[in-house]
Amino acid sequence: MIGQAVHRVRRELGLSAATLAQQADLAEAELTDFEAGNRSLTASALMRLARTMGLPPTSFLTDANAKTVRPALDRAKFFHATDAPMLSEADAVALAREVTRAQVYAELAKPSVRLDDYEPTKPGGKPWRNGYDLAASIRAKLGLAAAPIVSMQRLLEDDLGILVAKHAFADSRLRAAAVRGPKGRLIAVSKRLSTALLRVSLAHELCHHLCDLRANESLGEADDVSLEGYSNAEPDVERRAKAFAVMFLAPSNLVREMFGLPTHQFSTSPKAVDAARKLAAHAGIGSTAALWHLFHLTYLSDQEADVQVWQRHVGNEPGLAEFEPSFGDQDGLLRAIDNALASDEIDLDQAERLRRL
């Protein structure tokens, strides 16, 4: 228990609860309740306690993470039909470290939209429509116009406070996992994904953060759940997340700017495939996802069977070189540390310790 560890170190140092609380900028009652196991403390408060007692700032974070993060990873749910992929022990250790970093990031980040108001909700009778409407709502909150999103990673980290980590899952079928800790939020995506699948996966997991995750829960996607096709047989939460992802990346106003109002104008295979390729290249998504998106927006034939045939002819995915530019080793946490250092919220020693997380 972390509170007991703090109590033990405090007693060993000969500090009273009142003295330690004052030096760590806490109320004495907060500290004593925490030591007794009656309340939790934020990551920044744990770091202040550690520094005050002469310990590395992150001393108590790893132990705290073991209590709160591993249960979330152990309860991970993957939407697939058979032969369930599993997180390996190495995956769990790596993701636990990333969620520790996400917890610290949650203390430093200054997102423009906070997700605390979003709680798990059922998709309802029309999960596809529910996903579309939610995507439009979030884009509006973010002030996004019809322009494509160049970097989903930067948007998730800088505007929504969700840390993104790229990870080589031991089971190559695993594409992504969304993890919500007590404070921090993480999306881990496979390093093996194409740019189109990476972007759709990030948007897909964002929907899970908005609609499907309580604190200390995680969700994941595997290869046998297509992130780009369409099937009424999939779970409603997956159909909602899939619709959300494509509408978030290719909003209807962007599509209207490209093709005008929908009148089923692309009702033959050549026209439909050409339109899908153009939309995919412009919005930074896969051609199959674009094709089904155009179908749901009534630009194509109204026969689902036609689209199932046409999707076999979309060919190679667009290169998408202008999307998801590399930022080197700088992720959201490292940028937040630099910003906090520049604004004197932390000192140089604290910044160096946090960078080593």
pLDDT in tens, 18-29: 999 998 889 999
Is residue 152 domain-shared with residue 116, that is, in the same domain?
A: yes
d(CA 49, CA 58): 10
Is residue 88 domain-shared with residue 46, that is, in the same domain?
A: no
Task: Please tell me the pTM assigned to this model.
Answer: 0.79
Q: Which amino acid is at 308?
A: Q
Is residue 205 domain-shared with residue 80, that is, in the same domain?
A: yes
Closest C-alpha among 58, 81, 77, 211 to residue 134: 211
pLDDT in tens, 111-141: 999 898 888 888 888 999 999 999 999 999 9
Is residue 50 domain-shared with residue 92, that is, in the same domain?
A: no
pLDDT band at 221 (very low <50, low <70, confident <90, very high): low
> For residue 336, what pLDDT is reported?
92
| 304 part of a folded domain | yes
Closest C-alpha among 43, 332, 327, 42 to residue 160: 332
Sheet holding 162-167, edge to edge: 77-79, 217-222, 174-180, 185-190, 162-167
| 166 part of a folded domain | yes
The total number of structural domains in the chain stands at 3
pLDDT in tens, 72-96: 555 455 443 345 566 777 887 788 8
| 8 part of a folded domain | yes
Domain termination residue (choose one: 67, 85, 114)? 67
Instruction: Work out the average pLDDT over 290-307.
Output: 95
Contact 202, 225 (CB under 8 A): no
Is residue 285 domain-shared with residue 174, that is, in the same domain?
A: no
Mean pLDDT for the chain overall: 85
> For residue 353, what pLDDT is reported?
82
| 285 part of a folded domain | yes
More confident of the two residues 228 and 86:
86
Is residue 86 domain-shared with residue 29, that is, in the same domain?
A: no
| 334 part of a folded domain | no
> For residue 43, what pLDDT is reported?
66
Is residue 84 domain-shared with residue 51, that is, in the same domain?
A: no
Half-sphere exposure at residue 277, Cβ-oriented, CA atoms within 13 angstroms: 15
Q: Which of 75-89, 172-186, 335-349 has the lowest mean pLDDT?
A: 75-89
pLDDT band at 322 (very low <50, low <70, confident <90, very high): very high
Residue found by looking up tokens 């992802």 in the block: 245
Instruction: Tell me: pLDDT of 148 over 90.
Output: yes
> For residue 21, what pLDDT is reported?
92
**Residue percentage of the chain with pLDDT more than 90:** 49
Q: Which of 23-37, 78-92, 174-188 has the lowest mean pLDDT?
A: 78-92
- DSSP letters for 138-183: HHHHHT--SSPPS-HHHIIIIIH-EEEEEE--SSTTEEEEEEE-SS
Is residue 28 domain-shared with residue 85, that is, in the same domain?
A: no
| 28 part of a folded domain | yes
Is residue 107 domain-shared with residue 50, that is, in the same domain?
A: no
> For residue 81, what pLDDT is reported?
37
Instruction: Work out the average pLDDT over 42-51.
Output: 76
> For residue 232, what pLDDT is reported?
60
d(CA 177, CA 165): 10
- DSSP letters for 73-85: HHT-EEE-SSS--
Is residue 8 domain-shared with residue 34, that is, in the same domain?
A: yes
Q: Domain range spanning residue 59? A: 2-67
Instruction: Work out the average pLDDT over 290-304.
Output: 95
Domain termination residue (choose one: 11, 35, 67)? 67
Is residue 135 domain-shared with residue 221, that is, in the same domain?
A: yes
Instruction: Work out the average pLDDT over 265-293.
Output: 95
pLDDT band at 229 (very low <50, low <70, confident <90, very high): low
Burial of 315 (0-12, 13-18, 19+ CB in 10 A): exposed
Contact 276, 291 (CB under 8 A): yes
Is residue 203 domain-shared with residue 265, that is, in the same domain?
A: no
Half-sphere exposure at residue 245, Cβ-oriented, CA atoms within 13 angstroms: 30
Half-sphere exposure at residue 291, Cβ-oriented, CA atoms within 13 angstroms: 31
Structure tokens that stand for 43 in this block: 């990551």
Domain termination residue (choose one: 43, 67, 91)? 67
What value, to the nearest 5°, has the Cα angle with vertex 192 and ends 190 and 195? Answer: 95
